[in-house]
Chain A
Amino acid sequence: MTTRPLPAVTSLAEDLPGWLPGQRWFAAKGQDVASVRVERAALLVDGDPALLHTLLDADGERYQLLLGLTDEVPDHLRAAVIGRLADGSYAYDATHDAELMGGLLELFAEHSAAGGLDWLPEPGVHIQTGLRARPVGVEQSNTSIVFGEHYILKLYRRPAPGPNRDVELHRALVRAGSAQVAEPVAVVRAEGTVLGFAQRYLGDSAEGWATATASVRDLLAEADLHAGEVGGDFAGEAHRLGAAVAAVHADLAAALGVATAGQAEMAAGADGMHARLDAALAQVPALAKREGVLRAAFDAVRELPGTSVQQVHGDLHLGQVLRTTGGWVLIDFEGEPDAPVAERNRTRSALRDVAGMLRSFDYAALHMLAGEEPDHQRLTRAAEWADRNRAAFCAGYATVGTDPRADSVLLRAFELDKAVYEVGYEHRNRPDWVPIPLAAIDRATAAG
């Protein structure tokens, strides 16, 4: 097998342009790849199969890839094959290979320098080896591997140099004694770039979205009961979730500080909202008749004297929270998915997170109705669910932090800003869903 990895996989550069766009984590969705260059390739595990770590440059975007190399591909890995190397062996996406992935734990346990990478357990953590590995199949931008019931390793598909926000915020929260995050156990780095981040696996957890939509399903199966009357009422959970989010905000503030954004920053924030609205208006004609009220809501932010800003989650919604037997846990502190690193690292108002969650409750309430003939009864009842749980979330938040509803101008602007983004997104991807954010805009602006 190969001992000089880089030349050996250079030939793969021909197969990768065809393969990359088919991957879920590929960034430039729907676009072709002109050229792929293997930037770095290093052997992690020798033998057959061998495990290779590679960084690619695909039209200027950097991707991380773990390659398995073998002379004979077992049946269950056939679908993962990318192509053949010059020496006749096959290269495949190794994250599908449970055995190769299981070996990664040993690299961590040994504090290995395999492949010229640093495999570093967090201080005081003893990594248990010999656990079964399995890939988690559902992520968008990264790939995660679960080891036994113990650890989950997130491989960043597009690793960025410099401090990794996800890792840093997790560490800060754990140092602050937060019970609302999964404990970090190890990182793997190349020079200054974090390539992978392992945490304690919360095997007993269920995703917030699944938990909330179970409640909505229960509500809509009844003909006329109100959201507070049906068995699957979610308000208790929403209340606890609000308290958990507030606790995370408090811990982040205590650990990493709070600053005050003055009027200039508020104005800049409002400008940003207007700019995003401009972009959406250009695409979605239905927004035009709401332009006036939206702009008024954004302009109201300019009038505010200022607000406190801090590190926040940055991309909070029901899919970023897990219900465990010990309570709610927040995951994925990478920040806004499509924003540049500097933008993600900025401090911002904690109400951004609250707004994200409030919008998510709205989505959870209405997702079953998307694409249906509008039915006033069902819409009203779904909206009632959203209102009830949004209120419970805010009330729960208020048990730990300040009631977010006290800052109504800013909260409303953040929600509307988010809804404008959603309109644009749904217009491009799921036209049936456009009415969800549109209705939210109408409700919010009619009310105030």
Chain B
Amino acid sequence: MTVQDTTAPDAALGLAGIPHTGEAVTADGHLTEPQAEDFHHARSAPPQVDWYKSAVFYEVLVRAFNDSDGNGTGDLRGLADKLDYLQWLGIDCLWLPPFYASPLRDGGYDISDFRAVLPEFGTVDDFSYLLDQAHKRGIRVITDLVLNHTSDAHPWFQESRQHPDGPYGDYYVWSDTDEAYSDARIIFVDTETSNWTYDPVRGQFYWHRFFSHQPDLNYENPAVQDAMLDVLRFWLDIGIDGFRLDAVPYLFEEEGTNCENLPRTHEFLKRCRKVVDDEFPGRVLLAEANQWPADVVEYFGDASIGGDECHMAFHFPLMPRIFMAVRRESRFPISEILAQTPAIPAGAQWGIFLRNHDELTLEMVTDEERDYMYAEYAKDPRMKANIGIRRRLAPLLDNDRNQQELFTALLLSLPGSPVLYYGDEIGMGDNIWLGDRDAVRTPMQWSPDRNAGFSRCDPGRLYLPAIADPVYGFQAVNVEAHMNNTSSLLHWTRRMLQVRTEHPAFGLGDFTELGSSNPSVLAYLRRHGEDVVICVNNLSRFPQPVELHLSEHDGCIPVELTGGVRFPAIGELPYLLTLPGHGFYWFQITRPLEEGEPQ
């Protein structure tokens, strides 16, 4: 074959002069790849067993956080410059969506080189610097890794299509027809008509579960498995604290199945876990599998040995139900999904969130509920995207401070490690007039200065305009203003994170819902050893009474956690509390003072 493809990924992606995959080709046709020892390594994070079980995560888009070089796009050095802020806020771990080299046709999830950083974000050494500075402050960093597929610009794919008999010929799933695996659903129904696309260069069809520019890797090929394990090792060597594994259910294909959650997919995840456990203990794998909790628990692996696949998995259905419960003023949407959530292995933890860089996903609710959520939260059709709502927390809640606090309190106290989304701590707004999911990806608002203090560039050069409307605009909503006002949402959030850190029950404790006769009040008990915390949430906008049956704690004193106020002792009778509209309480249950105990 003589076709010289025009997609020369390294040149096209600005990687010239930067270490990248395929800089050279060995005599036997292998691409040379950058090695971890070519780069700086970050110092280690302070050792802590099971840190992820009680960590507060913070999702931040490198592009959106802080621009250090004035080109209008956030970058790794810029993010590193803001670590003091994140440390002050009380964040334990950053989650960065992909920052790898990419043609950016799918928000960076179309990776064209697993071992190079997108040039506009910086270099591998810049990442290593960020990691080092984060670790210095006790903050860990994880990032997304897409195991299932690559960009079609990845040199592996370019080699595969051009040299079917070369070392990469079998790296992707090729077929002479487009008929195999017909039971697998098409995920992006808006843009794709088949999971197979014909490649004129190789003269065959290739398999892709997502976009046609994202060919699926062929995990049947042991070389692919080894290559991807080496990708894990590359970043773990540099010092990264873990990965959010994107789209994990789809790694293998098998005729006659829907090609999701196949046993061999789990086998490969066990291999990934083994690399982490044997070579990099203390790092984590977080599964992204947008499925019902009963199915997702499979991704924690064998419960009898505490889990041997992913350490964490996102709990997707909880989030829309929190919104629904508050709108309905009924605890049952939340109670139901938690009751349906199976126990997880000893070494596992859920990740929970209110908002993230994707839309508020409504795949895990019934059609009726989805219609309802659209009607309630996406009054303008542009607020909808795919099967979800593209809005930030504050505008979703009509900028109501009480509700923002209630939602955050729920996020911080329900079982699972909370993931905050950048900007929600200051109540940032969104811009639904931007395309795709960009509504919620606008620049972080640091100050009332030009470009919200995000960048020194000409405003027209920003990757997305900063929010400038009268309610959520950066003139009013910014970190500086919130810092200067101790009653701000930012200060409130920080105090709540401090409280959460002081009580292991939130991260490690078991969860028991405390039923009450009031359907608008959600109350639950978290217990870890001696640390017993009771959380009472009024999901209604009206004041509510609630009687809790706490006689198990007869004689104990509830101490409110944000102010330390001692409430009346618990007795035999139901414990009566009254809550303001959308109010909540966190109590620690403490034993009464003994007589003669110094006070």
A325 touches B540 (CB 8 A): no
Please report which residues of chain A, range 204-230, place their CB below 8 angstroms from some CB of chain B when the two chains form the complex: 204-207, 210-211, 214-215, 217-218, 221, 229
A326 touches B327 (CB 8 A): no
B516, CB-defined interface residue at 8 Å? yes
Interface string of A72-93 (1 = CB under 8 A from B): 0000100000000000000000
A231 touches B515 (CB 8 A): no
Give A320 Cβ to nearest chain B Cβ, in Å.
Answer: 15
B328 touches A203 (CB 8 A): no
Please report which residues of chain A, range 67-120, place their CB below 8 angstroms from some CB of chain B when the two chains form the complex: 76, 98
Among A76, A204, A231, which residue has its beta carbon within 8 angstroms of that of B327? A231
Residues of B within 8 A of A205 (CB): 515
Among the stretches B197-205, B270-278, B367-375, B479-487, the one at the interface with A is B367-375
Residues of B within 8 A of A232 (CB): 327-330, 540
B336, CB-defined interface residue at 8 Å? yes
Q: How many residues of B contact A (CB 8 A)?
A: 32
B549 touches A134 (CB 8 A): yes
Residues of A within 8 A of B328 (CB): 215, 231-233
B104, CB-defined interface residue at 8 Å? no
A236, CB-defined interface residue at 8 Å? yes
B519 touches A210 (CB 8 A): yes
Residues of B within 8 A of A221 (CB): 541-542
A233 touches B542 (CB 8 A): no
Among B331, B542, B551, which residue has its beta carbon within 8 angstroms of that of A217? B542
Residues of A within 8 A of B338 (CB): 325
User: How far does the alpha carbon of A236 sit from the alpha carbon of B336 in the complex, in Å?
Assistant: 14
User: How far does the alpha carbon of A134 sit from the alpha carbon of B552 in the complex, in Å?
Assistant: 12
Interface string of A323-334 (1 = CB under 8 A from B): 101100000000
Residues of A within 8 A of B552 (CB): 132
B51, CB-defined interface residue at 8 Å? no
User: How far does the alpha carbon of A215 sit from the alpha carbon of B520 in the complex, in Å?
Assistant: 10
Among A214, A231, A325, which residue has its beta carbon within 8 angstroms of that of B336? A325
A326 touches B339 (CB 8 A): yes
Interface string of B342-375 (1 = CB under 8 A from A): 0000000000000000000000000011001001
A215 touches B329 (CB 8 A): yes
User: How far does the alpha carbon of A202 sit from the alpha carbon of B551 in the complex, in Å?
Assistant: 17
User: How far does the alpha carbon of A232 sit from the alpha carbon of B326 in the complex, in Å?
Assistant: 9
User: How far does the alpha carbon of A84 sit from the alpha carbon of B326 in the complex, in Å?
Assistant: 53
User: How far does the alpha carbon of A233 sit from the alpha carbon of B368 in the complex, in Å?
Assistant: 12
User: How far does the alpha carbon of A339 sit from the alpha carbon of B121 in the complex, in Å?
Assistant: 79
B2, CB-defined interface residue at 8 Å? no
B518, CB-defined interface residue at 8 Å? yes
Give A63 Cβ to nearest chain B Cβ, in Å.
Answer: 26
B230, CB-defined interface residue at 8 Å? no
Among B329, B372, B572, B573, which residue has its beta carbon within 8 angstroms of that of A214? B329
Residue of B nearest to A76 (CB): B572
A214 touches B515 (CB 8 A): no
B517, CB-defined interface residue at 8 Å? yes
Residue of A nearest to B516 (CB): A206
Residues of A within 8 A of B226 (CB): none
B39, CB-defined interface residue at 8 Å? no
Chain B interface residues (CB < 8 Å from chain A): 326-332, 335-336, 338-339, 368-369, 372, 375-376, 513, 515-520, 540-542, 549, 551-552, 572-574
Given A203-B549, A214-B330, A215-B328, 15 extra CB contacts under 8 A: A132-B551, A134-B551, A134-B572, A204-B339, A206-B331, A206-B332, A206-B515, A206-B516, A206-B519, A211-B330, A214-B540, A218-B329, A218-B541, A237-B330, A237-B332
Chain A interface residues (CB < 8 Å from chain B): 76, 98, 132, 134, 146, 149, 202-207, 210-211, 214-215, 217-218, 221, 229, 231-233, 236-237, 323, 325-326
Sample of 12 A–B contacts (CB below 8 Å): A134-B572, A204-B513, A204-B515, A206-B516, A210-B518, A211-B330, A214-B540, A215-B328, A229-B375, A236-B372, A325-B335, A326-B336
